[in-house]
Amino acid sequence: MANYIADGVAKALTQEEINTLISFYGVFTNRDYSVVDRILEADWQDIPLAPGQQDGPEGYKELVRNFTQSFPDVTIKVHEIFGTHERAGVRAEMSFTHGNEFMGIAPTHQKLTIAIHEFHHLKDGRLTKTWHLEDWLSMLLQTGSWPVKAE
């Protein structure tokens, strides 16, 4: 805890850390994959990994590439970044048109919005770990896939 407290006061996130977080989500929109190598440590951990996703920056690039190819209009809007030096929480939302099959759900061509809640560890302005939770249940509700109707 000593890293985060100076004179009994928690250190704030630095502007560099905030910029790193904004860049992390911006890759979905700007598709600038070179950013990933600048903001993620080589041994960055994404917890939990998506099915088939490899660990580290290359896994993140591939995840974003696959998602943006399936849903080219995807955007991520960051609502809030909070935390202390080297520890951050982010509240955001992802929006995209469900124009391709996803998670076994046939395309509905609806605009979907999914809440995102993530927690990050940073060191020297770079991400070292990310724990994420997307509200995929809301996607099931928005697409009419849940509750499952009895046949």
Q: Which domain holds residue 68?
A: 9-142
Let me know if residue 149 belongs to a domain: no
What stretches of the chain adopt beta strand conformation (E)? 5-6, 9-10, 40-47, 75-84, 87-97, 111-123, 126-134
Q: For residues 23 and 73, give the distance between their C-alpha atoms in angstroms, rounded to a whole number.
A: 18
Let me know if residue 148 belongs to a domain: no
Question: pLDDT, tens digit, for every residue of 100-139?
Answer: 999 889 999 999 999 999 999 999 999 999 999 999 999 9
Let me know if residue 2 belongs to a domain: no
Asked if residue 103 lies in contact with residue 113, where contact means CB atoms within 8 angstroms, the answer is no
Task: Flag whether pLDDT at 35 surpasses 90.
Answer: yes
Q: What is the pLDDT of residue 18?
A: 98
Q: What is the pLDDT of residue 4?
A: 58
* Residues above pLDDT 70, as percent of the chain: 93
Q: What is the pLDDT of residue 103?
A: 87
Q: What is the pLDDT of residue 5?
A: 60
What stretches of 56-123 adopt beta strand conformation (E)? 75-84, 87-97, 111-123
Q: For residues 78 and 93, give the distance between their C-alpha atoms in angstroms, rounded to a whole number.
A: 7
Q: What is the pLDDT of residue 100?
A: 93
Question: pLDDT, tens digit, for every residue of 51-100?
Answer: 999 999 999 999 999 999 999 999 999 999 999 999 999 999 999 999 99
Let me know if residue 19 belongs to a domain: yes
Q: What is the pLDDT of residue 146?
A: 86
The CATH number linked to 57 is 3.10.450.50
Question: Angle, nearest 10°, between helix axes 15-30 and 56-70?
Answer: 40
Let me know if residue 112 belongs to a domain: yes
Strand 111-123 to 126-134 pairing: antiparallel
Size of the chain, expressed as the number of residues it contains? 151
Question: pLDDT, tens digit, for every residue of 14-32?
Answer: 999 999 999 999 999 999 9
Let me know if residue 151 belongs to a domain: no
Let me know if residue 1 belongs to a domain: no
Residue 106, phi then psi, degrees to nearest 5 = -60, 150
Let me know if residue 105 belongs to a domain: yes
Q: What is the pLDDT of residue 9?
A: 77
> How many domains, the chain?
1
